Each structure stands twice: as structure tokens, then as C-alpha cells.
Amino acid sequence: MSTILLVSIIGLTIFYFILYHSIFRVMYFGNVGTSIVGEFISCGFAACITLVFGAAAIKFIFGIVGGIIVFLLKAAVVLAIVGGICFVIYCVVNAIKSKANDNYEEMSDINTDQEEFASTNESHTQNDGEKNICTNCGVEYNESAAFCVNCGEKIN
């Protein structure tokens, strides 16, 4: 990390030194070497300040952007979990409804069959000679029975 920082400072120092001399016409009086070294040190100082403030600004910007990205990722994960739970609940409810509709249709068919059987027999009990037949389910029963042994219907 320190090597990258040192190379950055030297590069910016040279850039600032060239920029300074391209913008301003410089005239040296007295000792030229001392003046050039002084300008180079000043450009180095400006390079250090630029890197410090630049690093702080980048850290601040990435901190804000990073915080926003982390928030969005967390929100996406929460929405995915909630969506998955809702989908599972939806599938379970549809399966239960489908099963309930199937059972309802089966019960409707049974009731229809029972009603048809009952309508063909005018009385609750039918006596064909010695046989007693339940009009609800069509099973033969004993004369002394109060209820049908097959369907539980009360026999008069």
C-alpha cells in the first residue's frame, strides 16, 4: 500500500510541476536550483493534500454507495424470502381447495345416487315377500332392525 501511495505522490508531484510551469511563466532570480527544488516540494505538498482529500472523498462516496447497495441486497433477500413463503402458502391453499372440490363432487354423486334410489322406492321399507330392503342403500335388513346395518338409516 505504501508503494502505491509513494508512486501516486511522485506522479502527482510531477503532474503539478508541469501544470504549474505550463500555466505560469516562471522567471528565476538568484539560485535557480533552490527555486526549482522549492517549487517541486510545494507541488509534492499539493499532491499529498490532493491524495488525502481524494481518499476521504472516495471513502465517503463508496461508504454511501456501499450502504445503499447493502440495503438493496438485504431488501432483495427479504422480498425473495417473503415471495417464496407466499408462493408456498398459495400452492398449499390451492391443493386443499382442489382436494375439497374433489370430495364435494364425490359427495354430490353419492347424494344423487341415494336420491335416485330413494325416489324409485316409494316407502322407506320394501317388502318383497320375505325380504326387507333399505331404500337408502339397497341392502337387505332384518325385520326387527330399527336401523340399517349398512348405512345407518332409521327404518320405520
pLDDT digits (tens, 9 = 90+) for 83-135: 999 999 998 998 888 887 776 666 666 656 555 555 555 444 444 456 788 88
Q: Give the chain's domain count.
A: 2
Q: Do 14 and 71 lie in a common domain? A: yes
Q: Do 136 and 156 lie in a common domain? A: yes
Average pLDDT over residues 53-59: 87
Cell numbers 320375505 correspond to what residue? 130
Structural domain that includes position 15: 2-120
β-pairing, 140-141 with 131-134?
A: antiparallel
Q: Do 37 and 83 lie in a common domain? A: yes
Tell me what pLDDT residue 125 has: 45
Q: Do 76 and 149 lie in a common domain? A: no
- Nearest CA to 114 out of 89, 62, 150, 73 is that of 150
With a cut of 50, say whether residue 33 has pLDDT above it: yes
- Nearest CA to 10 out of 53, 43, 54 is that of 43
Q: Do 87 and 34 lie in a common domain? A: yes
User: Which position has the higher pLDDT, 116 or 141?
Assistant: 141
With a cut of 90, say whether residue 45 has pLDDT above it: yes
Q: Do 10 and 71 lie in a common domain? A: yes
Q: Do 137 and 116 lie in a common domain? A: no
Q: Do 64 and 35 lie in a common domain? A: yes
Tell me what pLDDT residue 11 has: 92
Cα distance between residue 110 and residue 113, in whole Å: 5
pTM (2 d.p.): 0.41
Tell me what pLDDT residue 148 has: 86
Average pLDDT of the residues of the chain: 81
Q: Do 95 and 135 lie in a common domain? A: no
Sheet holding 125-128, edge to edge: 125-128, 131-134, 140-141
Q: Do 107 and 41 lie in a common domain? A: yes
Cα distance between residue 148 and residue 34, in whole Å: 124
Q: Do 81 and 127 lie in a common domain? A: no
